[in-house]
Chain A
Amino acid sequence: EIVMTQSPATLSVSPGETATLSCRASLSASSNLAWYQQKPGQAPRLLIFAASTRATGIPARFSGSGSGTEFTLTISSLQSEDFAVYYCQQYNNWPITFGQGTRLEIK
């Protein structure tokens, strides 16, 4: 099983600044990595798939990078609606596995 580890657990950033979230895989996930955003009381929303491809309707301020075991989600010019919990997920191997999440909070 590929274990996904996200860091930090909580990230405090001011609106307008840039947030950098990390996700590490215990084995190579190639580029088969997705990022999701989840707000309280809502279902997750797909942001990024294939490590760096934005999903339909996702603003350009969200970008993903990395391959193998190291991945990054960068959110530039943070807006109030971006403060949420973010999860990475690998789908390179069964079982599919998620990271534990990073909570992005307003500083």
Chain B
Amino acid sequence: DTGVSQDPRHKITKRGQNVTFRCDPISEHNRLYWYRQTLGQGPEFLTYFQNEAQLEKSRLLSDRFSAERPKGSFSTLEIQRTEQGDSAMYLCASRSELRGWGTYNEQFFGPGTRLTVL
């Protein structure tokens, strides 16, 4: 257990439905990342937050995806009008902010939410 939790762990939905996932990072970590991973591939970056600010969003992310991190604590990832191609594992990771040259911090991953779109 890394200290990062995700909910739900599994989600099955029908095409066209909206889904929302939640990530609770390690409390003192101010950076939070969302990734999508399909079978046999590495995690694909979706977006990341520093505190409550969404600093970067993948160009590959369609407008159907939105993420929030109100108050800089937990984060939610919403997918609207789901498509079968959205089926994947959605991973969340948290990390301390880099401070100064030579400071390095690893990402701590949550267990993921596996989404299946029928």
Q: Does B associate with A?
A: no
| Residues of B bordering A, CB below 8 Å | none
